[in-house]
Structure 1
Amino acid sequence: MSTTNDQTKYKLCYFVPPSSLQATKTAIFATNLAGVFSSLTDADKVLYTNVCWETSGTGQFIPGPDSTPDIGTRGELEVLEEVRVEMQVLGSENVKKVVQVLKKAHPYEVPVYEVYKMEDF
């Protein structure tokens, strides 16, 4: 549920190894700020929670000399299965809070995520 009157829609998209998928979703959904869909006629009436989309794919990276990788070895190409997770967040302050929760729950030193402002038609 939104903690502000800002109803601007954002899409949060992040990439995570399957072994950490549930932990990141649990942390994010515990905020009650993401993946919440309300009635079109009554914003206070919550119809769905914990809504997200997941797709599996392959990611890759080379950990740099100053990195402390959770997965992989410095200087060596790491190719691994990852899950792309997408969810809606209402309000700019809320999406900032959700991103902070994601960063704490995610196993990567530098989590890969994207935030998109969505249009409402």
Structure 2
Amino acid sequence: MTQPLDVLVFYSPVGSTEDVLAAVFAAGAGAIGDYTECAWWVEGTGQFRPGPGANPAVGVVGELETLPEHRVEVTFPRERRGAVVAALRAAHPYEEPAFHVLETGAV
């Protein structure tokens, strides 16, 4: 039986997307059938305000920051979830990367 594929959606500063993708690909994301390094992304504007105690990679504590980001989607086998999320966290430049994992029934 084939393991279900889930979807990782994350937001990355435009200049870091390829590095973060390389890390999640190395952890087992992005393979669909006979294809590897599969991803979809679109550019938009991210916004955040670092609070007290934050150590932002971009921006200044207390000030609203906006910058171009990619919304990125990749699939991965459910059994690789821990490794894929750990790779995302390790490679992402933000102190608190925004992401979510969607469980699918697709195989």
**CA–CA distance in 1 between the matches of 2:101 and 2:95?**
19
The residue identity in structure 1 corresponding to 2:3 is: Q
Decide which structure has the larger Cα Rg and report it.
1
Q: Does 1:15 align with 2:1?
A: no
Q: Does 1:35 align with 2:21?
A: no
**CA–CA distance in 1 between the matches of 2:17 and 2:31?**
19
Structure 1 residues 52 and 69 mapped into 2: Cα distance closer, same or farther (>3 Å)? same
**CA–CA distance in 2 between the matches of 1:68 and 1:6?**
42
SS in 1 for 2:82: helix
Identical counterparts, % of pairs:
39
Bigger RCO (CA 8 Å, 6+ sep): 2
Runs of 4+ residues deviating >6 angstroms: none
**Which of 47, 72, 78 does residue 60 from structure 1 map onto?**
47
Structure 1 gaps, min length 5: 39-46
CA drift at 1:37: 1.2
The residue identity in structure 1 corresponding to 2:87 is: V
Match of 1:44 in 2: none
